[in-house]
A and B are shown apart, each in its own frame.
Chain A
Amino acid sequence: MFSILRTIWDVFLHAFAKRVTIQYPEQKAYLAARYRGRIILSRDPDGGERCVACYLCAAACPVDCIALQATEDPNGRRYPEWFRINFSRCIFCGLCEDACPTYAIQLTPDTEMSEYRRQDMVYEKENLLIDGVGKYPGYNFWRVAGVNIGGKDKGESEREAPPVDLHSLLP
């Protein structure tokens, strides 16, 4: 009996408590930098595309919303000829970001992507590629990768020893 009255009183006191609602369009909730929202493709610090078109994101994607076509530039540097994400299918799981070996594909804390037409939810490469480095400022895949691309031979990458001359090891 007493507990019933006490419950009523306690609930009544909530009339003077602060309200937890965030009035969304006017007030926005804080979204952390690692929030999983709209997907972007980032660039190197020196402006080149990070994506090497390895297809790992497309393979990791559980809903198959990522499609791309690999190609090479004259220097032998791989990049996607086109890159397409269908955001009407995307579940924002972040597995593509986990799979990416070059930090190219990243999820951003932007969730406001409503459209009236479904086709508008399909983002092409020019919609995805940003002019920034995203969450990994200093990273440049081609500068640490030990592959030969135009102007940078094997052994000239950062923290990479020159290739061993196999013939010099002969007895």
Chain B
Amino acid sequence: MLESPYPLWSLLGILFFALNIAAGLIWLERRLLGLWQDRYGPNRVGPFGLLQVVADMVKIFTKEDWIPPFADKWVFIGAPAIVVATVLMGFVVVPVTSGIVIADLNIGLLFFLAMSSLGVYSVVLGGWASNNKYALLGGMRAAAQMLSYEVFMGLAVMGTVLMAGTFSLGGIVQAQARTIWYVIPQFLGFVLFVIAGIAETRRLPFDLPEAESELVAGFHSEYSGMKFGMFFVGEYIGLVLISSMITVLFLGGWLGPWLPALVWFLIKVFGCIAFFILLRASLPRPRFDQLMTWGWKIMLPLALANLLVTGAIVVAVR
């Protein structure tokens, strides 16, 4: 387990960077989508359109913040906060470098899985409190989707845990330093974890809870102003979190030659984020029953098989 020499500074730094990167991702996502759709994206406000983020923030803060009279008021207000809180809690266990980590728990991976599971409450409660059919359908879809995909998400990373022999994320990275990045021996687990991660962050192609073309905006149909913004911030920080987890679990965390550890971590995280945005640019949304069938009939058996084979090999080698 890692011990940071400056835990408080790590906390403030990670909080600051997580929130700012989440805001910057609004710009990055629009620029990258533009790039892949043969157009520019926002490029007018400030250099390369970077101040678009500021403009969007000003806009969303000054929008009318409306609570529908038929909504369950307090749950409606609380729901957007849950997703941001749980995702930020997930960052507690992420070892950015061997020196920058808030608390490298010995059950870090389980803590991350628990926090990402709690995030579903935000969506379900938001959809339910809106008292709106579209929102309720979105919330129900979110519950079903995230339950299904969490099952094999947990199983997919157990291969790395078996190989590293620890649940501590810092320990997993250090184990990768001793052997090889786990993306190679655990390639199937990597693929499964990436797919589950996209479903977990409710991003395209797995954005069925919000599915604009069917459910208006799904669980946040009734949300406006900064409450809507909180869902978005939660989604973007969740994207950063999942990318960090992929980096830590499979891509060797901060490991890498020549460059400083922090730079390597950021390069890998942003690579993952760019890949997620590429998926958004290229893939259509599956039907809901297809999503469920994939999760339970293909992904879960694959994850179990992966776990079984990895376990057998680990036992045999030992």
Contacts and interface: CB of A to CB of B under 8 A. Distances in A.
Interface of A: 4, 7-8, 10-12, 14-15, 17-21, 23
B38 A10 contact: no
28 contacts: A4-B283, A7-B282, A7-B283, A8-B279, A8-B282, A8-B283, A10-B282, A11-B36, A11-B278, A11-B281, A11-B282, A12-B278, A14-B35, A14-B36, A14-B37, A14-B38, A15-B35, A15-B36, A17-B38, A18-B38, A19-B38, A19-B39, A20-B38, A20-B39, A21-B38, A21-B39, A21-B40, A23-B40
B68 to A, nearest CB: 36
B40 A19 contact: yes
A59 B257 CA distance: 78
Interface in B117-150: none
Contacts of A10: 282
Nearest to A18: B38
Contacts of A20: 38-39
Nearest to B279: A8
A18 B37 CA distance: 10
B32 to A, nearest CB: 9
Contacts of A15: 35-36
A145 B270 CA distance: 75
Interface of B: 35-40, 278-279, 281-283
Q: Secondary structure of the A side of the interface?
A: helix
A8 B39 contact: no
Given A7-B283, A14-B38, 6 more contacts: A11-B278, A11-B282, A14-B37, A15-B36, A20-B39, A21-B38
A4 B286 CA distance: 12
| Of B36, B39, B281, B282, most A-chain CB atoms within 10 Å | B282
A12 B281 CA distance: 9
A10 to B, nearest CB: 7
Nearest to B35: A15
Contacts of B279: 8
Contacts of A18: 38
| Of A11, A17, A18, A20, most B-chain CB atoms within 10 Å | A11
A2 to B, nearest CB: 14
Nearest to B43: A23
Contacts of B36: 11-12, 14-15
B214 to A, nearest CB: 21
Nearest to A4: B283
A14 B281 CA distance: 11
Nearest to A10: B282
A15 B31 CA distance: 11
Contacts of B278: 8, 11-12
A14 B277 CA distance: 14
A152 to B, nearest CB: 58
B276 to A, nearest CB: 11
Contacts of B39: 19-21
Contacts of A11: 36, 278, 281-282
A85 B35 CA distance: 43
Contacts of B37: 14
A19 B36 CA distance: 9
B296 to A, nearest CB: 18
A52 B226 CA distance: 61
A31 B170 CA distance: 61
Nearest to A13: B36
B189 to A, nearest CB: 18
Q: Nearest 9 A-B pairs (CB), nearest first?
A: A11-B282, A21-B39, A8-B282, A14-B36, A7-B282, A21-B40, A20-B38, A19-B38, A11-B36
| Of A14, A20, A23, most B-chain CB atoms within 10 Å | A14
Nearest to A11: B282
A20 B39 CA distance: 6
A17 B35 CA distance: 9
Contacts of B283: 4, 7-8
Contacts of B282: 7-8, 10-12
